[in-house]
A = this chain, B = another copy of it.
């Protein structure tokens, strides 16, 4: 698609965006601050900009006078970019202009890594786990009346070099009629063995030629959400995706409360029934959306954390939450999907990703497989941030992992006005370093209702870098703004006043929120340090970071490093894989190589219980600062802070900022 170039003045910053992009988002992405309180709904009228050249759609409201409009004023939150533009941000004073380069840096999200089937083929990693073969068999006669199954076996052996064949009972039941339905022209579906010495299982037989229609399902069973994909095994194409909330959620938001419920009489059965009903809903939607016949699906792969996996398989989860935190099993055998209660034809085989420990589950294993990390030379730090955070470090030769008790801060938990990344959540933010006025952008461009995880990181990082917060996460008490105030003995910053908020209350972030965020990021960072120390390495040895989890797609990488959530490495070396769990499930559905390699990989992963690891507590306490007690770990941030301090010192009437 054609991109439009937008230039912001007086900053002289430019950005290329897609047609229809909102002006305020283009400004935010370029690191240009525009005062804006109402999240983008157009009610506060603060985000006035001057359209110097080009065309926008909208951008006018009753908040602008006829004269303003004539002068080219537009509301940045309501204006959609329709051509190349030059936009001037009004500045009230000379000083304003001087601090422009103290403003936020441009957004830097991670590169997205997409599965590439051609790559797989090139590397010899594409070994379809299920193949279809069309055959025209000679019909039986008096002189040749061998059993129907023997006829198939003989033909496959002679004409298709297929050996070690084994027929499922459900297939044998179909064979006599299906063979005679289209005059002994049939398509058989063969499931390949994971181990080379295994058998080739014939899992389906269909009349006529259906060999072009060969599909697989991949499902990520998340604590909050269940995502599914329908995949064409022949092309590797994802035909459709669908996600739905895990219906277990009414029995508790996190895994612990689910386990507690599962221990009640009938609880395990109830939770099992609920997650099955969600999965069946997701599968049903996938078939409906794609118009694919369920009969054409041969295999389904699941990935989920250890608790979700055990509840899905109806395996007692009680001991997962009791010291010494023992899962029932690492590996599970393949099983028939229909027997597990899934609405799928009787021939569909189900596979579940193996677990590492009670808190590093199949979702993480799936991510390390699907991202290719398990097979790379590079030392990779894999981080999946969800309700909790799991960290894996290693390469094709070794891996160490741990679950970090980060808590749900990144999903809005433990934050006074925290919320999930849904409509009304402040997801992006900047602040005017002089007036301390905010620029809030919300999901859906509606009045702000709260703060989501990625927004929280941006707010805290921005305020810290501006000197509004100190390295303990406390507000500078000397700043001259009514937005920072003490309420109920806690200092807070008002992001949006009640009159422009979506809740009729002031939208605030307070020091307790920030403390919780620091604990969360401290748990993750110290988890990484502890794992590195256990294998005799340090941050400098990390070649690459892979971010997984929905959260990872929105997080501003530089901001995440500013608060000390991620170690500071070259941003180009950070890769985002999105739902790593689903990605691995998809890969396993596409190539047997993954299915085989995972059993080897799982044996190479060493799990650490951080609470049992001597050095963890020291690392954790050192990480309870912004970004860390060791600022030397963050050389780029240190340089930026030094630069800012120099600017502030040079300013004629510079205020006593938090960083002095």
Contacts and interface: CB of A to CB of B under 8 A. Distances in A.
B145 A328 contact: no
Interface string A316-333: 101100011111111111
A315 interface: yes
Contact of A169 (B141, B197, B313): B313
Contact of A329 (B147, B328, B335): B147
Contacts of A143: 612
B176 A318 contact: yes
Contacts of A180: 319
B142 A609 contact: yes
Interface in A291-332: 313-316, 318-319, 323-332
Copies of this chain assembled into the complex? 2
Contact of A148 (B142, B147, B329, B357): B329
Contact of A326 (B146, B197, B324, B332): B146
A173 interface: yes
Interface string A157-184: 0000000001111001101110010000
A570 to B, nearest CB: 37
Interface residues of A, number: 46
A328 B609 contact: no
Given A176-B315, A316-B173, A323-B142, A329 B166 contact: no
Contacts of A355: 147
Contacts of A145: 324-326, 357-358, 609
B140 A326 contact: yes
A609 B144 CA distance: 11
Contact of A140 (B141, B167, B176, B324): B324
B329 A172 contact: yes
A322 B143 CA distance: 14
Contacts of A327: 147-148
Contacts of A197: 197
A143 B150 CA distance: 54
A201 to B, nearest CB: 9
A211 to B, nearest CB: 23
A407 to B, nearest CB: 22
B323 A149 contact: no
A173 B169 CA distance: 24
A339 interface: yes
Contact of A333 (B146, B168, B316, B319): B168
A335 to B, nearest CB: 5
Nearest to A151: B326
A429 to B, nearest CB: 42
A172 to B, nearest CB: 5
27 contacts: A140-B326, A141-B324, A142-B324, A142-B609, A143-B612, A144-B324, A145-B357, A145-B358, A146-B326, A148-B328, A149-B328, A149-B330, A149-B331, A167-B329, A172-B313, A172-B315, A172-B329, A172-B332, A173-B314, A173-B315, A173-B328, A175-B329, A176-B318, A176-B319, A176-B326, A180-B319, A339-B339
Given A140-B326, A145-B325, A149-B328, 10 more contacts: A140-B324, A145-B326, A147-B328, A147-B355, A148-B326, A150-B329, A168-B333, A169-B313, A176-B315, A176-B316
